[in-house]
Amino acid sequence: MRTSNAKLRPTDTLDISAADAARLGVADGVQVRVCSKYGTIKIKARVTAAVSSGQLFATFHDVRVGLNWLTGPFWDNLVQAPEYKVTAVRVEPLER
């Protein structure tokens, strides 16, 4: 949130396919709970065709969302970043 990227997306969102959103009862713009074996967060869903069914995407810019809590203790030693792409999660709607 220290760059002009905040103008593009003022907070993090969870991008989810329309098929997965329908299956889970998640509507565009609603709060969802995302849980991994490492933690739980609340984030707004963004239904989009940009991700495939069975996959999710989220930015990691807004520390208030706390997305890094989901990724676990594993780090890439070269760039010192969490190993984001292998985190299994469960998504639950908080509102419909």
Q: Confidence band (pLDDT; 50, 70, 90) for 28?
A: very high
Q: Max alpha carbon distance in the chain (Å)?
A: 42
The number of angstroms, rounded, from the C-alpha of 47 to the middle of its chain's C-alpha atoms is: 12
Domain residues for 86? 5-93
Long-range (24+ apart) CB contacts under 8 A made by 20-25 are 20/53, 20/54, 20/56, 20/91, 21/45, 21/47, 24/91, 24/92, 24/93, 25/93, 25/96
Phi, psi of 47 (to 5 degrees): -75, 125
Residue 9: band (very low, low, confident or very high) from pLDDT cuts 50, 70, 90: low
Question: What is the per-residue pLDDT across 15-25, written as a single tens digit (0 to 9) for each?
Answer: 999 999 999 99
In single-letter form, the type of residue at position 23 comes to R
**Is the confidence at residue 60, as pLDDT, over 80?**
no
Residue 36 and residue 89 in contact, taking contact as beta carbons nearer than 8 Å = yes
CATH code of 82's domain: 2.40.40.20
pLDDT at 8: 66
The tally of domains found in the chain comes to: 1
pLDDT digits (tens, 9 = 90+) for 36-59: 999 999 999 999 999 999 999 988
Q: Is the pLDDT of residue 1 over 60?
A: no
